[in-house]
Amino acid sequence: MERLHARYPFLDASRAAVEAAEIDLSELVSEGGPPVERGHERVERALMDGTTAAEEPSFWSTRAELLSYPIARVLVSLLDVPGATEKYAAAEAATARERFVEDFEADLELKSAGGDRLTLDHLLADFDMSGRVEAIGDGRFGLDVTAYLELAAELEEPQWGLARRPLSAGTVPVGRPELYTLLREAVGRRVREGLPLSVPSEIESPLSSELASIRRSIADIDPPMSFEAVTPGLFPPCIRALLSRSRDGEGLGGLADHSRFSLLSFLLASGLDADGIVELCNAENESDAVRAQVDRLGGEDGPVAAPPSCVVMDEYGDCVNADETCETIRHPLSYYAVKLRRTPDDRITDWRRQGSGSETS
């Protein structure tokens, strides 16, 4: 078992290393110890913080780190929590992206890699993409259009649409950071393969305490998606800031794609429909685009796309003006729920009943 395997446990070579070690999974979980402890941490951090990186990496051996991956897959399969598999896979992919970007950039700078650093060629080969990606100079790559469509399929931002990309001889040009994002999607897809697992009782039983611990930890992180009132003055600081930028000159079209998604998905979850969002954002001249995106984000039974968590908002650079309430929650919708709960009913005014021109802050 090598450090490279532990850093990238989804690689074919990593899985082969586990198989070569002839590890009996039922015996491993029965023994407990570092692999199980790290697997527990891996899932909990994935669901709570959007990463699977260890809080104290030096604490874990290469063996514990690598073997924690199959245990984490078992734990997330046993959780039976809506969205857990997707969140876990996304966290594994996000962590992998951080690591392989570090490795690839070091390779570009001709730093000594040794045998524990992943190369771009290695990763492409592992995903059967060696012949589907070609460097075309200036830090850009030509990606086979079929591969591009497969990897970009779940990326929401408009710039990933094929209609916005030049296409030549079946190849789509992408920048280096864009290639890294597409490879992150490939990792996420591989991690999701086979999940949830069918877990026999002899493996499930020894993990009961870890499962109970994870369930307690995530009990309150799923954001509420239904509110009786739309009160913009109680929105979290990040959403109020985006709303102000939209209303005060930038317009929704002036926001970065991720910021616009964050704002629209939050407003939709707060209880506004497309007409209400257009009015609140002063977006009458962008109404067609707003309605089109709202149609994609919403469903017959309510919003189907939750706004990003606080961790993601921070990564986007949209977490601003954080206050004391922000320190106690993990999601902008949870902030709004707390503010509504703490505000006397006679001080909550539903913006939808006030009409155009009412206060928004």
How many domains is the chain partitioned into structurally? 2
Residue 223 lies in a domain: no
Q: Where are the alpha helices (DSSP H) in 32-141?
A: 34-49, 62-79, 84-108, 120-126
Location of structure tokens 């532990």: 6
| 100 and 176 assigned to the same domain | yes
Check whether residue 179 and residue 246 sit in a common domain.
no
Note whether 240 and 285 are same-domain residues.
Answer: yes
pLDDT at 201: 94
Does residue 157 share a domain with residue 254? no
Residues 191 and 285 in one domain: no
110: region left, alpha or beta (phi > 0 left; psi from -120 to 50 alpha) = left
Q: Tell me the residue type at 273.
A: D
Residue 306: DSSP 8-state:
P
Residue 360, domain member (yes or no): no
Determine, yes or no, domain membership for 347.
Answer: yes
Contact status, residue 277 vs residue 267, Cβ threshold 8 Å: yes
| 289 plus 203 within the same structural domain | no
In angstroms, rounded to a whole number, what is the distance separating the alpha carbons of residues 285 and 287?
A: 6
**Averaged pLDDT in 10-residue chunks for the chain of 361 residues:** 94 95 94 96 89 93 97 93 84 95 83 73 95 93 96 87 91 95 96 94 95 78 74 95 88 85 89 90 87 73 66 85 87 89 90 62 44
Domain final position from 194, 217, 240: 217
Q: Distance of alpha carbon 142 from its chain centroid, rounded?
A: 26
Confirm whether 225 is domain-assigned: no
Q: What is the pLDDT of residue 249?
A: 77
Which SS3 state, helix, strand or coil, does residue 131 take?
coil
Same domain (yes/no): 213, 310: no
Last residue of a domain, which of 172, 191, 217?
A: 217
Instruction: Examine the domain organization and report whether 70 and 185 are in the same domain.
Output: yes
Is residue 254 domain-resident? yes
**pTM metric for this prediction:** 0.65
CA 14 to CA 67: how far, in whole Å? 10
Spatial neighbors of 114 by CB under 8 A, at least 6 apart, are none
Token digits of residue 38: 């790290």
Determine how many CB atoms are found less than 10 A away from the CB of residue 27. Answer: 11
15 lies in which domain range?
A: 3-217
User: Is residue 359 a part of any domain in this protein?
Assistant: no
Identify the pLDDT of residue 361.
44
Residue 147 contacts residue 64 (beta carbons within 8 Å): no
Q: Is 118 exposed, middle or buried (0-12, 13-18, 19+ CB in 10 A)?
A: buried
3-state per-residue secondary structure call for 140-200 = EEEEEHHHHHHHHCCCCCHHHCHHHCCCECCEEEEEHHHHHHHHHHHHHHHHHCCCCCCCC
List the one residue out of 171, 323, 279 whose CA is nearest residue 162: 171
Residue 241 and residue 311 in one domain: yes
3-state secondary structure of 15: helix
Last residue of a domain, one of 217, 242, 258: 217
Q: Are residues 206 and 78 in the same domain?
A: yes
The pLDDT value recorded for residue 220 is 54
Question: Is residue 110 situated within a structural domain?
Answer: yes
In a domain, 40, yes or no: yes
Instruction: Give me the pLDDT at residue 240, please.
Output: 96
How many angstroms from the chain centroid is the CA of residue 218?
16
φ and ψ of 320, to 5 deg: -130, 155
201 plus 246 within the same structural domain? no
The two structure tokens encoding residue 78: 């046993």
Same domain, 141 and 21: yes
